[in-house]
Amino acid sequence: MITKEKEQTTLLLMQKEREQICTYSRKLITSNLTTGTGGNISIFNREKGLMAISPSSIPYFDLTPESIVIMDLEGNVVDGDNKPSVEFAMHAIFYSHRQDVNAVVHTHSNACSVMAALHWDLPAANYLVAMGGGPTIPCSKYATYATKELAHAALEAMGKGYAAFLANHGFISAYPTIDGAFGLADEIERCADIFLRAKSVGEPQIIPDEEIYAMLNAASGYNK
């Protein structure tokens, strides 16, 4: 017979990743990066070859570690009773093609969604655009949500960077860590808001590409 104490110490498959997804899913709401159950989050465990992903249509503040779904990169559910996010293919494609990516955050934040509706790339009107890995945050080609076509469009748009707008949809960040992926989503929303506000009253002055690359090179040296 399993005692209550024993039950409390029994860990789920990818317990840490499940807990992190619960935490950051709630932060999507409290940071105004989505509404309702919009958006999704995943974390990839390269040692296990599995990803933990938020479930479909469950309010974020109702999530528990047991709610989170564990999948392989072929789209098979390995553990969990809930339906995974319908965008699971858009997460898996980054883990399959980018060895530097271990977390993906997809949001429906306001300013980023406006950029996506316009099919605009975000230029460096603010130096923190460089967090995305280059002088702009690109916008993908349009593709229907929850399709493999959207997954490929997101991967193509992002290139070697870490962020992209999803045309007529929202935003996606792909990063080595979940805190980095979430922080990038939060920061690019702010940068997009600054750009749109500046654009509404004048023409934003854009930082030259060479300056952005110089900053990225300096940051790379600093972090070594």
Q: What is the CATH number of the domain that holds 88?
A: 3.40.225.10
Please state which of the ranges 37-46, 87-96, 188-197, 214-223 shows the lowest mean pLDDT: 214-223
The 3-state DSSP class for residue 62 equals helix
pLDDT in tens, 44-100: 999 999 999 999 999 999 999 999 999 999 999 999 999 999 999 999 999 999 999
Structural domain tally of the chain? 1
Is 4 inside a domain boundary?
no
pLDDT at 224 over 60: no
Say whether pTM exceeds 0.85.
Answer: yes
Residue 5: inside a domain: no
Domain for residue 56, yes or no?
yes
Structural domain includes residue 69: yes
Cα–Cα dist 21/42, whole Å: 7
Q: Beta strands 50-53 and 69-71: pairing type? A: antiparallel
Whether 157 is covered by a domain: the verdict is yes
**Sheet with 69-71: strands ordered across:** 77-79, 69-71, 50-53, 40-45, 103-107, 170-175, 163-166
Q: Domain of residue 72: give its range.
A: 11-223
Determine whether 87 is an active site residue: yes
For residue 165, the 8-state DSSP code is E
Residue from 19, 47, 87, 149 carrying the catalytic annotation: 87
Q: Is residue 6 part of a domain?
A: no
Could you read off the pLDDT of 124-139 as tens digits, one per residue? 999 999 999 999 999 9
93 domain residue, yes or no: yes
Answer whether residue 181 is part of any domain.
yes
Indicate whether 20 pLDDT > 80: yes
**What pLDDT shows up at residue 169?**
98
Type and span of the H or E element at 76: none
